Structure 1
Amino acid sequence: MLFEPYFWLHVAGLALLPLIWSLLAIALAIGIPFPVANVELGLIVLLGGVPVWLLQILRPWQPFSLFVFQIPPERLDERQRQILRLVQGTRQPILNVLGAIAMVILLWQVAHYAPLAVGLTAGLPQWHILGLFAAILLFFFGNILLQIPLTLLPALLISETTAQAIDPHPTVSIRRDFACWGLPLGQLFPPRRS
């Protein structure tokens, strides 16, 4: 199994999903809901889900990142570029599609039970539009937390020896093949010794 600290950091981020869903239920419980609940859910899916899903399917995030920070392609070492080539060659967009479907089903479930969280919103401003905006942001963040590990999962199952035998991804192609957004970051973890 491939050991890459950045990958396992993304996998560990899945532990935040229950918190995201709890906060999303509270956000949906703020104020008086719009008369047509499906319109709200549609907005949340359209603005909080579709951009993440399309990006991960068409041009996944460069995984050597942490929140809003990322290691620029020019600063990736040879092993990291080998791993990028591995990710590009092994990723299975069907996993991202299944993850997107699961997130929509969970959103519907959370929205159904959100009225139970009304008591938790008593001290908050009761503007439903604020709750809806928070729900969109939370759904967006939750999708990021799920979609990145789904993209990395096939590469994580590859052995170290296989990863070392792969040609590195050309530095000039990284920005074309991966979404490299974020503030530049130096190495978060020390370089791995062979």
Structure 2
Amino acid sequence: MRSSWSEPFLWIHLAGLAVVPLFLGLCWVFLAVGDPQLPVWVEFLLVAGIGIAPILWMQLTRPFYIFSILVLAIKPSHLTSDQQRLLSLFKTPIHQWLASVGAILMLLVLWQIYQVAPLATIVGFPLTSRFLGLFLASLAFLASNLFLQVPLSVLLVLLTNETKLAATEPFPIVKIFQDFTVPGLQVNRILPIADKKLAVVNNDTPQITPKQG
């Protein structure tokens, strides 16, 4: 088994793919609200710009700091050398290429959703403002892009072979805040898994009793 597969943060963020259809569904519903007030291409570019541009820019310039969950992030100083190596993989050109491909894919998906938006009209839906609907659709589409782009980059790391990972230089701790988007509050640890592993290692390590003189 590849060592990267034992990193729980990678699997947690890969699971984010599961909510992409949910947010796309919300985007579809909100796009059906009200009657169009702007030209089709204006509405489409508005939702696409808000939903795609921020996430794509983040992944191209300062990728998402993977050692975080919701509003908590592990302090860079508490990362292991293996975790720093994983961070280095997120800064490779192939990740930028994959982020661009993901953005194009989502643009095509949005166009399909926009075209069939009237089918999602809900009778008696409390929201009637077209502009508010477009705004909420943009936020839902933004969330869908976030939960697609981050797992795509994680998947690429999980597929990295052990030889390449071992040859990767640990990412410098002092540059993490500069080169990654670190969300939320920094803490010493989030998951107890690492502590349990350390405990197992300590228990399995043979104890050497000094000879009595």
Displacement of 1:164 in angstroms is: 4.8
Displacement of 1:162 in angstroms is: 5.0
Instruction: Give the aligned length.
Output: 193
Contact 2:52–2:103 under 8 Å retained in 1: yes
- Identify the range of structure 1 (150-159 vs 83-92) with the bigger mean alpha-carbon deviation: 83-92
Displacement of 1:21 in angstroms is: 1.1
Cα distance in 2 between the residues matched to 1:90 and 1:188: 30
Displacement of 1:51 in angstroms is: 1.2
TM-score (norm 1): 0.88
Change (3 A) 1:144 1:65: same
Partner of 1:50: 53
Displacement of 1:40 in angstroms is: 1.1
Which 5+ residue runs of structure 1 have no aligned equivalent?
none
Task: Pick the structure with greater CA Rg.
Answer: 2
**In structure 1, what residue type is equivalent to 2:39?**
V
Displacement of 1:76 in angstroms is: 2.1
Displacement of 1:115 in angstroms is: 0.4
Displacement of 1:169 in angstroms is: 1.7
**In structure 1, what residue type is equivalent to 2:131?**
I
Contact 1:60–1:151 under 8 Å retained in 2: no
Offset from partner CA, 1:146-175 (integer Å, 9 cap, x none): 111222232211245653554422210111
Which 5+ residue runs of structure 2 have no aligned equivalent?
202-213
Superposition pairs of residues 51-90 of structure 1, within 5 angstroms: 51-89=54-92
TM-score (norm 2): 0.81
Partner of 1:123: 125
Partner of 2:136: 134
State the superposition RMSD in angstroms: 2.1
SS at match of 2:90: helix
SS at match of 1:184: strand
Partner of 2:174: 172
Contact 2:89–2:157 under 8 Å retained in 1: yes
Change (3 A) 1:156 1:90: farther
